[in-house]
Amino acid sequence: MRADLAASYGEERLPRYTSYPTAPHFSSEIGEGAYARWLAELPAGTSASLYLHVPFCREMCWYCGCHTQIVRRDELIAGYQRTLRNEIALTAETIGRRITVEHIHFGGGTPTIMAPEAFAELMATMRQKFFVLPSAEIAVEIDPRTLTADMVEAMRLSGVNRASLGVQSFDPVVQRAINRVQSYEQTASVVDMLRRAGIGGLNFDLIYGLPHQTVASCLDTVRRSLALAPDRFSVFGYAHVPSFKKHQQMINEAVLPDGLARHDQACAIANALKEAGYVQIGLDHFARPGDSMAVAFEDRTLRRNFQGYTTDKGEVLLGFGASAIGHLPQGYVQNEVQIGAYAQNIAAGRLATAKGYGLTDDDRLRADIIERIMCEFSADLGDICARHGAEAGAMLNSAARLKPLISDGVVRLEGNRLAVAKDSRFLVRSVAAAFDAHLNPAKQLHSRAV
């Protein structure tokens, strides 16, 4: 990473481009009626991925940017699980047939906060209402501090084959500052339980830019994590937006690393993982050679969705649960964020869509360009524009933000082929932003570019 570029561009707030247009541009003009029409219009042979959002935790991590709430009463969780099952049934009924499912992802919150039997019931409902392929990837996000042996058994019996463990940092000083005290021994015990249950696909989530974090503490976390040999790492920069996530006000801004320190931490983590043999994938993922994500990166079939980088090739993502986002060929939809409003809609037999976005031809073109930049650090604008019936020259002329990036050596442009320089790949979001026709620099709800 070039420190001069990190200083020039690193403080800018930009989307992670897990969708285009991004969620802040969704509006209430797209509601239940539009979503119902879009579902009914899905062509025969459509396959889908399912995302289930479980917005509950036992304790708030102060860095968290997810839609979640703290619960002590298991009755609330059980009621929410029943609502999820009803929403799945309602969605399948609206589609009108039993479509194929290739991926299932449980996100949160803490999905494993459910009772084991409730998790099994939820999986059974999905298998009843959809045709879940035997080869489907079924992934669950896990807080190692609360996972039980009974839940691991329920996951095994339900066909779960990938688990994503929140680690963030093993530094006790950092852990106390973010209200997430999680020992290495706890994490190692969960890894052992999962592997003994045959859940072999393991991801670790790490974060840099946390309070009191240093390059040394980041490298110590990487060293300890490597001893547990996960298949993949996701390495994210902490997004401090206390105006949007009030609990982040508990973090003392004075002890947050600045842009250059974040740059050094990200660089140190990336170098350590690559030296350990992991392949760097896109902006923030790392995988063992031979892992399906590493293969997709090499084959240029890698995709990007709301879970980040993915091997999922589907054009349909059905979201279930409060705040869940779905993606269909026609556009995006998002459920009610408030759990009560979400549950009331489903109880009344209505889809819980609160807002969304209908894609235009220009959106689809720019989405393809941005996805290739984010996934491959390059884009053949001539080829992409031709597939969309557009002119590459006109697209380049509209990308005014690209000119300084070219001048600074971040981007190379040969004809209509764009490539991000190897020493500037940490600015890939800045390059993608050059093609974002909706970007509003005045809005500061995104994370730093570095």
pLDDT range class, residue 423, cuts 50, 70, 90: confident
Exposed / middle / buried, residue 189 (Cβ in 10 Å: 0-12, 13-18, 19+): middle
pLDDT for res 244 = 81
In whole angstroms, give the CA distance from residue 57 to residue 60: 7
Q: Which two tokens stand for residue 200?
A: 């072999």
Residue range 318-342: average pLDDT?
97
Which sign does the torsion angle of CA 26, 31, 37, 43 carry? positive
Give the number of other Cβ atoms within 10 Å of residue 72's Cβ.
6
Residue range 56-60: average pLDDT?
94
User: How do residues 271-304 score in pLDDT, each as one tens digit?
Assistant: 999 999 999 999 899 999 999 999 999 999 999 9
Residue range 121-146: average pLDDT?
97
pLDDT range class, residue 1, cuts 50, 70, 90: low
In whole angstroms, give the CA distance from residue 393 to residue 267: 35
Residue range 119-143: average pLDDT?
97
Give the largest Cα separation in the chain, rounded.
Answer: 61
pLDDT range class, residue 334, cuts 50, 70, 90: very high
In whole angstroms, give the CA distance from residue 25 to residue 437: 11
Q: Which of 247-251, 361-365, 396-400 has the highest mean pLDDT?
A: 361-365
Give a three-class secondary structure readout of 32-58: HHHHHHHHHCCCCCCEEEEEEEECEEC
CATH class of 1-24+360-450: mainly alpha
In whole angstroms, give the CA distance from residue 8 to residue 227: 36
Topology of domain 25-325, CATH: pyruvate-formate lyase- activating enzyme (3.80.30)
Residue range 380-398: average pLDDT?
96
Residue range 75-98: average pLDDT?
97
pLDDT for res 6 = 72
Q: What is the pTM of this model?
A: 0.93
* Domain parsing of the chain, residue ranges: 1-24+360-450, 25-325
Please report, rounded to a whole number, the percentage of residues in the chain having pLDDT higher than 70: 97
Residue 8 confidence (pLDDT) above 90: no
- Mean pLDDT for the chain? 94
Question: Bridge-partner residues for 414, per DSSP?
Answer: 417
- Using CA atoms of 18, 333, 345, 104 in order, give the dihedral in degrees to the nearest 10: -50
pLDDT range class, residue 360, cuts 50, 70, 90: very high
Using alpha carbons, select from 268, 269, 286 the residue that is nearest to residue 277: 286
Residues 6+ apart with CB under 8 A from 409: 421, 424
pLDDT for res 325 = 97
Residue 323 confidence (pLDDT) above 70: yes
Residue 393 confidence (pLDDT) above 80: yes
Residue range 205-220: average pLDDT?
97
Question: Bridge-partner residues for 296, per DSSP?
Answer: none
User: How do residues 166-206 score in pLDDT, each as one tens digit?
Assistant: 999 999 999 999 999 999 999 999 999 999 999 999 999 99
Residue range 390-408: average pLDDT?
95
Residue 104 confidence (pLDDT) above 80: yes
Contact between 219 and 272 under an 8 Å Cβ cutoff? The reply is: yes
Q: Which two tokens stand for residue 236?
A: 């994210």
Residue 445 confidence (pLDDT) above 60: no
Exposed / middle / buried, residue 115 (Cβ in 10 Å: 0-12, 13-18, 19+): middle
Residue range 104-117: average pLDDT?
96
Could you tell me which residue, 332 or 440, shows the higher pLDDT? 332
Alpha-carbon distances of 103 from 126, 187, 304, rounded to whole Å: 11, 25, 14
Determine the angle formed by the axes of helices 116-129 and 149-157, rounding to 10 degrees. 10
Q: Which of 110-119, 325-334, 411-420, 432-441 has the lowest mean pLDDT?
A: 432-441
In whole angstroms, give the CA distance from residue 38 to residue 387: 23
pLDDT for res 446 = 56
Residue 7 confidence (pLDDT) above 90: no
pLDDT range class, residue 441, cuts 50, 70, 90: low
pLDDT for res 48 = 96
Which sign does the torsion angle of CA 202, 207, 212, 215 carry? positive
Collapsing DSSP to helix, strand or coil, 187 comes out as helix
Please report, rounded to a whole number, the percentage of residues in the chain having pLDDT higher than 90: 86
Where do we find the tokens 């300084």? 404
Could you tell me which residue, 6 or 192, shows the higher pLDDT? 192
pLDDT range class, residue 344, cuts 50, 70, 90: very high
In whole angstroms, give the CA distance from residue 410 to residue 10: 13
Q: Amino acid letter at 307?
A: Q
Residue 449 confidence (pLDDT) above 60: no
Collapsing DSSP to helix, strand or coil, 14 comes out as strand
pLDDT for res 314 = 82
Tell me how many degrees the CA angle 107-173-224 measures, rounded to the nearest 5: 65
Exposed / middle / buried, residue 332 (Cβ in 10 Å: 0-12, 13-18, 19+): buried
Residue 3 confidence (pLDDT) above 80: no
pLDDT for res 66 = 87
**b/e per residue, 249-269, with b = 16+ CB within 10 A?**
eebeeeebbebebbbbbbbbb
Residue range 304-326: average pLDDT?
93
In whole angstroms, give the CA distance from residue 271 to residue 277: 10
pLDDT for res 440 = 80
DSSP conformational letter for 28: T
In whole angstroms, give the CA distance from residue 426 to residue 290: 24
